[in-house]
Amino acid sequence: MHTTGGAAEAVAGREPGAAASARRPVVPYHLITALDDPHTRVPVPERRYIARSADGLRTVLLALPHQGRDPDLFLAEADASRYLLGPCAAPADALAGPGEPAWYSLPYLPVLPLPTVLAVHGGPLPELTVRALGAALAQTLAVVHGQGLAFAGVSPAAVLLSAAGPRLTCYGAVRAAAPNGAPRSGLPGLEAGSLPPEQASGSSPDFLGDMYALGAVLAYAATGYTMPERDELPAALRTIVARCLSRDPGSRPQPAELADALGDVTAADDRAAVLGPGWLPGRVIAALAHQSAAVLAAETPAAPAPSASSRTPTPSSPSRN
C-alpha cells in the first residue's frame, strides 16, 4: 500500500504536503492510500486513490484527472460511464459537484491494478488466469458495444482485479486525452502499446479499437509486455491475441469470438464458471486480503460537513463512437 494524506490538497490538484492553511476538505472524502504504485512504468490514465467519506461510513475508489488534462472532458466521460452495463463494467456512482475540482468515485472493493498484480505474482500470469481475464473482459465489451458505445480506455492500468473478477475502468480515457483528429501518440496516461494505431493518429475510437486494446492487455498479462514477440505468448493464445493486435481493424475478432476462443462462455451467466476457483494466483489473493485489512484499519481524521455535495446528474445521452 502506498500511503498518502492531505485529501484536500490532492483533490484540488496539489500533492499532499501543501501549506496547512490549505487543508480544507473540498469533497466529502479523505485519502487513505494511492491505488497505483507510484514507481510503476505503466502509464495510468488518471490519479486513483482509496478514500473514505468524511463521516467515515463509506469507502470508495476516487479518480482525478492528471495535471494538464481538460477537467470537463474528464467529467463528461465519467458521467457517460454511468450508462455502462456488462459483468465487469465499473460505472461512476458519484461525480464532482458544481464549482468542485474534477473527480468521480466508484464503490470500493479490494482490487489491484493489473500491473500491480504482475508485480505481486512475480511475473506474467498463468494461462488459466489470462484466459479467465480475457473471457470476462470480452463479455463486458460485447455488452458495452451492444449499447452502441466504444469503451475507448482499455489498457493494463484500466483493468482492476478482485477476487470476484476484473473491473474495467477508465472509460473514455482516449477520448478525454485529445479530440478526434489530434494525434494521441505519446500523451501522458495513454499506454502506447494499448493504443490502436488508427487512434494514435487521431481517428475516432470504435469497437475494433477496443479489441486491439484488449489484445494488448492479454499480451501484457501473459508476458509483461503489451507488444511482445509472437513466440513469447503461450502457444494456445498466439493466434487469437495476434488477431486482436492486427494493424488492420477488419482482421480483429469480435468480443464473442474472443470470449469463445478463451473459455467456454455461452451466456452471460457463465461468468461464474469462467472465474471459478483458482483463477487468481495465491499471492494475488493474499495481497487483496492485505489491502482489505489495511483499509479497514486505516484511520482518517474527523471532518466537518463537506462544502459541496456530489452529484449524480442524468445526462441527455452518453458518449458514442
Span 105-125, pLDDT tens digits: 999 999 999 999 999 999 999
Are residue 105 and residue 128 in the same domain, yes or no? Answer: no
List C-alpha distances in Å: 92 to 20, 165, 193, 234, 313: 31, 18, 26, 35, 11
Are residue 141 and residue 222 in the same domain, yes or no? Answer: yes
State how far the Cα of 277 lies from the Cα of 218, in Å rounded to an integer: 20
Are residue 133 and residue 74 in the same domain, yes or no? Answer: no
Q: What pLDDT, on a 0 to 100 scale, did the predictor assign at position 314? A: 43
Strand pairing partners for 95?
104, 311
In a domain, residue 307? The reply is no
Is a pLDDT exceeding 90 seen at residue 7?
no
Are residue 85 and residue 202 in the same domain, yes or no? Answer: no
Q: Looking at 13-17, 46-50, 263-267, which range is the least confident one?
A: 13-17
pLDDT, one tens digit per residue, over 25-35 is 356 799 999 99
Are residue 39 and residue 173 in the same domain, yes or no? Answer: no
Strand pairing partners for 34?
2, 49
Are residue 127 and residue 217 in the same domain, yes or no? Answer: yes
In a domain, residue 212? The reply is yes
271 band by pLDDT with thresholds 50, 70 and 90: low
pLDDT, one tens digit per residue, over 134-192 is 999 999 999 999 999 999 999 999 999 999 999 999 999 999 999 999 999 888 899 99
In a domain, residue 15? The reply is yes
Residue linked to cell 458495444: 145
Q: What pLDDT, on a 0 to 100 scale, did the predictor assign at position 101? A: 92
In a domain, residue 146? The reply is yes
What CATH number is given to the structural domain containing 168? 1.10.510.10
Give the residue from 260, 173, 185, 161 showing the smallest Cα distance to 210. Answer: 173
Count Cβ atoms below 10 Å from residue 62 Cβ, excluding itself. 27
Mean per-residue pLDDT, 287-295: 98
DSSP annotation of 123 reads S
Q: What pLDDT, on a 0 to 100 scale, did the predictor assign at position 27? A: 62
Are residue 214 and residue 275 in the same domain, yes or no? Answer: yes
Q: What pLDDT, on a 0 to 100 scale, did the predictor assign at position 276? A: 80
Q: What share of the chain has pLDDT > 90, as a percent?
A: 74
8 A C-beta contact, residue 174 and residue 73: no
Q: What pLDDT, on a 0 to 100 scale, did the predictor assign at position 136? A: 96
Total domains in the chain come to 2
Three-state SS for 61?
Answer: strand
Q: What pLDDT, on a 0 to 100 scale, did the predictor assign at position 248? A: 98
CA angle at 295 for the pair 290 and 298, rounded to the nearest 5°? 125
Are residue 138 and residue 251 in the same domain, yes or no? Answer: yes
8 A C-beta contact, residue 190 and residue 45: yes
Is a pLDDT exceeding 90 seen at residue 260?
yes
In a domain, residue 319? The reply is no
List C-alpha distances in Å: 142 to 232, 249, 262, 293: 28, 16, 14, 35
Is a pLDDT exceeding 60 seen at residue 4?
no
pLDDT, one tens digit per residue, over 29-67 is 999 999 999 989 999 999 999 999 988 899 999 999 999
In a domain, residue 320? The reply is no
Q: What pLDDT, on a 0 to 100 scale, did the predictor assign at position 313? A: 43
Range of the domain at 119: 112-283
In a domain, residue 314? The reply is no
Are residue 162 and residue 225 in the same domain, yes or no? Answer: yes
Q: What pLDDT, on a 0 to 100 scale, did the predictor assign at position 270? A: 56
Give the residue from 198, 214, 216 showing the smallest Cα distance to 255. Answer: 214
In a domain, residue 313? The reply is no
Written as nine digits, the cell of 58 is 463509506
